[in-house]
Amino acid sequence: MVDLEGVEKVFRSGRLEYPALRGVDLTIEAGEFVAIVGPSGSGKSTLLNLVTGIDRPTAGTVTVAGRRIDTMGEDELAGWRGATVGIIFQFFQLLPTLTALENAMLPMEFAATTPTGEQAERAIHNLGLVGLSDKTDHLPSELSGGEQQRVAIARALACDPVLLIGDEPTGNLDTETAAEMLDLLGAINQRGVTVVFVTHDRELAARSDRTIAVRDGLVVGNGSS
């Protein structure tokens, strides 16, 4: 599902350079449930941004779901991302003036791959998967933090992705709710979706199939959780 070879990422500001990744080789198989751990500034989020095509590598190759994405143009990359990857963020990033249903439909409207008449039905189905069938008409301000993150997961599933990426998806939740989110991600993984998530919580990481440890821009650990 994911294959990185010799990946480097250098951020530049004027004459200063900051090497975020220093030559990463990494493979994630289809159907895996993978946690990425490491201290702040280790390169975890940069790694995810390269896998989702949000950033491009300074050197090396990034292949995801059989496609070499580091050579794609912006339009091709946007289309590929919309059809292939679902992304869950730490701070939910729901639009506050839209209902749960409308937020869950947004990616379908942008990707334009789901017929208009089927978008609401699919979004309702996804909200049902995350346990929010009774909250479709609620605004984000009317939902708890855990419920907002469930909407964010339903939104990430909108275009039926083969890869679900979570950048600290439990980092803004209390311990009990975070554990519930991991249960939900595990259930989604059991449906055949490859799940990769970043976390600072070693206990949550231990519930994955495999933990990848990143430090100073290098993969320093890669084994079963």
| pLDDT at residue number 183 | 92
pLDDT at 113 over 80: no
Q: What is the pTM of this model?
A: 0.91
Q: Which residues touch 121 (CB under 8 Å, ≥6 apart)?
A: none
Specify the CATH number of the domain 31-57+72-224.
3.40.50.300
For residue 125, pLDDT over 90 is answered with yes
Residue 114: pLDDT band (50, 70, 90) is: confident
Q: Enumerate the domain spans of the chain.
A: 31-57+72-224
Please determine, for residue 151, whether its predicted confidence score (pLDDT) is greater than 90: yes
| Gap between the Cα atoms of 88 and 195, Å rounded | 11
